[in-house]
Chains A and B, each alone.
Chain A
């Protein structure tokens, strides 16, 4: 089937060709008409020439020897000569006269037999010729003719030089109107009018078609180009997707680290400046045949041509990583910030079944880069054991086959040392291997599989709450709350088990900047009304923001693992934790520290007054509830 683009091109080309042919036909028509007129004219001129020859003979007889100097003839001879010319003038040839050049080169009337007497020039009256044909007739001693427009219409002038002893003595002139022109043109004017009408209509259509094509192209370009960064966008990707040869490129997905914090701290204008700067660095670091696309808010997709050398894309990306690390971005007069990026690279996209699948792998690697501490590249190693790629369909099938299981990681009260609750963590058991969420979660966001997974994990959590009478928390990316079907699934499951809802904590984290916070907050409040407790996950990193603290009243706040990890290394980490703790005391929010990996950290956090501890030191995630702990 022809695409609409091809139809547009076909139409424009057809109109152009049609206009061209109609124009050619118009020229041909005009030429034909002109040839007919020239034929008629030639015939008229031949007739006049034969009349001129007759006049010449008669005048030679009258003038006799006076022909040598016609300006000096006597009036009587002049009158006789004039009588001759009068015989040849008529309504068809109204002006028949003879002029000669005087010694000064001025033309003067000799005899004038013009049909209307008042138009006759007097003997020796100066005559002002309006064109050069008079001199030509004199000089070349040959007849001259000229068709020109005058106030009366189309005037034709025919000049016949009377030559005596190889010298032009005077000129016999005929001025007349060629009415045949008008008659012929009048007869054919409807055809010409029709042709002009078609031509003008076609030209207008053509101009409109080209204008529309230009506007369409401009609009298409506008649609395909991101106005902020001037980079191609997702629409452009959809346009060129079929042209991308996956065996010639590597696919990389880039994301700006902690970009939301830049927006929150410095404002969106500063964020835009940073985005533009990073876009510029990316564009400058790539080669002409690489493709750079602004894939999402702060996500960039790059197709890097490798020409068979698979080390090239990695080198290019490491160069980008270095440049962004070094770049101090000026976001206002006195503020400079340093933005890092995380990169996921799929070096062999041709091994994927589609472009979408290849991008999903790069996305998975990006997710891994973020989980592993950001500001780094994660490269997909195409070993099936290590990097099996799951798709939404695979996950759905596995959930339906009961392969989705829940692990529970204990959370202990730091004061009593007792395990008081658990965090439910999703795992997929496939072919004897347990797969972590990072291996499948990025591909099922906002899909039926995610909805199904949420339902299963929540159900398992409630079953565990009911069985063990213990509090369980379940992790959710709030972005999914914007999806009505996912949200309603979560709501419905909780509503059905609302008698146990108070034992359930929803740990909320943000993976991306959320634009529609109002809607999210309303939905969280609705869940709170069912009795569910709310925890802000990964506070201090990523996108967990203060807006939740202002708009909803969370029950718990979980300090991001990256801060806890730095506790014994970076003295500032302790100060940050203290500050968060103080804030939570003031707001009556319980604080959980995750990634508590050793005794030293555990003791330190307990001393600081952290309410709850979670991490491998407390207990690893397990399919069964760990009731005792080794640390206490």
Chain B
């Protein structure tokens, strides 16, 4: 029976569901960072089902693979930048965090220095991810 349940679980564990869960986590994180329900996000990551806007100048947060993906005229903005690639995250000091998948698991790292710099207060539940 355990296997039957597993198979049924598998049927519903498609990429769509995984990315939706990831998007929800990210949206919650950004909402908590900005202390707002309706946030404007600029992102070129089509897999993430985020509510995004096209005009980067209007964006309050950026969710991109690397800093270079942010249009040049918006790069100077001191906005919330969230990356989806760990190696790119390691290269920059501007990102507030990174959410990436490794070995089929989601990994979240939040930049302690950046959080302090932007005077962001996060809920206790994010404490294990801050470094």
- A residues lining the B interface (CB < 8 Å): 27, 30-31, 33-34, 37, 95, 97, 106, 114, 119, 121, 125-130, 147-155, 175, 181, 185
Checking B2, B103, B108 against A34 with a beta-carbon cut-off of 8 angstroms, the contacting residue is: B2
A389 smallest CB distance to B (angstroms): 72
Most buried by B among A149, A154, A185: A149
> A128-B108, A151-B18 given as contacts; is B13 within 8 A of A30 (CB)?
no
Complex Cα spacing A128 to B130, Å: 12
Task: Enumerate 9 A-B pairs (CB-CB under 8 Å) in ascending A order.
Answer: A27-B1, A34-B1, A114-B103, A119-B103, A121-B102, A126-B107, A126-B109, A149-B10, A151-B104
Contacts of B91 in A (CB 8 A): none
B87 CB to nearest A CB, Å: 9
**B7 and chain A: residue at smallest CB distance:** A185
How far apart sit A7 and B102, CA to CA, in the bound complex (Å)? 64
With A and B bound together, what is the CA distance between A158 and B129 in angstroms? Answer: 24
CB contacts (< 8 Å) of B103 on chain A: these are 95, 97, 114, 119, 175
Q: Are A34 and B3 in contact (CB under 8 A)?
A: yes
In the complex, A34 Cα to B2 Cα: how many Å? 8
Centre residue among B3, B13, B86, B129 by max chain A CB count within 10 A: B3
Residues of the A chain whose Cβ atoms lie less than 8 Å from the Cβ of B2 = 34
Tell me how far the C-beta of A180 lies from the nearest C-beta in chain B, rounded to whole angstroms. 12
Alpha-carbon gap, A125 to B107, bound state (A): 10
Bound CA–CA A301/B106 (angstroms) = 80
B interface with A by C-beta (< 8 Å): 1-4, 6-7, 9-10, 13-15, 18, 86, 102-109, 128-129, 131
Q: How far is the CB of A461 from chain B (nearest CB, A)?
A: 90
Q: Enumerate chain A residues within 8 angstroms of B102, measured Cβ to Cβ.
A: 119, 121
Is A128 in contact with B106, judged by CB distance below 8 angstroms? yes
User: Known interface pairs A31-B1, A125-B86, A126-B109. Does A149 touch B104 (Cβ–Cβ under 8 Å)?
Assistant: no
Q: Is the CB of A155 within 8 A of B104?
A: yes
Structural contact, B128 and A150, CB atoms closer than 8 A: no
- Given A119-B102, A149-B13, A30–B108 Cβ distance below 8 Å? no
Contacts of B106 in A (CB 8 A): 128, 130
- Given known contacts A34-B3, A37-B3, A126-B131, A151 and B14 CB-to-CB distance under 8 angstroms: yes
Q: Which residues of B contact A147 (CB under 8 A)?
A: 6
| Alpha-carbon distance A34/B86, docked complex (angstroms) | 39
In the complex, the answer to whether A30 meets B3 with C-beta atoms within 8 Å is yes
Q: Are A149 and B86 also in contact (CB < 8 A) when A27-B1, A130-B105 are?
A: no
The answer on a CB contact under 8 Å between A150 and B13 is yes
Structural contact, B104 and A150, CB atoms closer than 8 A: yes
Bound CA span A148–B104, Å? 11
With A34-B1, A37-B3 as contacts: A149 and B107 at CB distance below 8 Å: no
Report the nearest A residue to B86, measured CB to CB: A125
Q: Give the Cβ gap from B6 to chain A, nearest Cβ, in Å.
A: 6
Which residues does chain A contribute within 8 Å of B128, judged by CB atoms?
106
Query: Which of chain A's residues have a CB closer than 8 A to the CB of B105?
Result: 128-130, 150
Contact B6–A30 (Cβ < 8 Å): no
Alpha-carbon distance A147/B6, docked complex (angstroms): 9
A125 to B87 Cα, complex, angstroms: 11
CA distance A95 to B109 in the complex (A): 21
Measured between beta carbons, the chain A residues less than 8 angstroms from B131 are 126
* Min CB gap B63→A, angstroms: 19
Cβ A128 vs Cβ B13 within 8 A: no
A291 to B104, CA, bound (A): 74
Q: A127-B107, A128-B105 are in contact. List 5 more A-B contacts (CB 8 A).
A: A30-B1, A119-B103, A121-B102, A128-B107, A150-B13
Residues in B neighbouring A125, C-beta threshold 8 A: 86
Expressed in whole angstroms, the minimum distance between the Cβ of A27 and any Cβ of chain B is: 7
Chain A residue with Cβ nearest B1? A30
CB pair B10–A154 under 8 Å, yes or no, is yes
Q: Which residues of B contact A151 (CB under 8 A)?
A: 13-15, 18, 104
CA distance in complex: A154, B1 (Å): 16
CA–CA, A106 and B103, complex, Å: 18
Report A315 CB to chain B, min CB distance, Å.
Answer: 66
Contact of A30 among B4, B9, B86 (CB under 8 A): B4
CA distance A114 to B13 in the complex (A): 24
* Docked pose: A218 CA to B49 CA in angstroms: 53
Given A95-B103, A128-B108: A154 in contact with B6 (beta carbons within 8 A): yes
- Given A126-B107, A127-B107, A128-B107: A149 touches B18 (CB 8 Å cut-off): no
Evaluate whether A149 and B9 lie within 8 angstroms (CB atoms) in the complex, with A95-B103, A114-B103, A126-B109 already known: yes
Task: Please report the C-alpha to C-alpha distance between residue A106 and residue B112 in the assembled complex, in whole angstroms.
Answer: 15
Closest CB of chain B to A226's CB: distance in Å? 52
Bound together, the chains give a CA A129 to CA B102 distance in angstroms of 11
Bound-state CA distance A152–B103 (Å) is 10
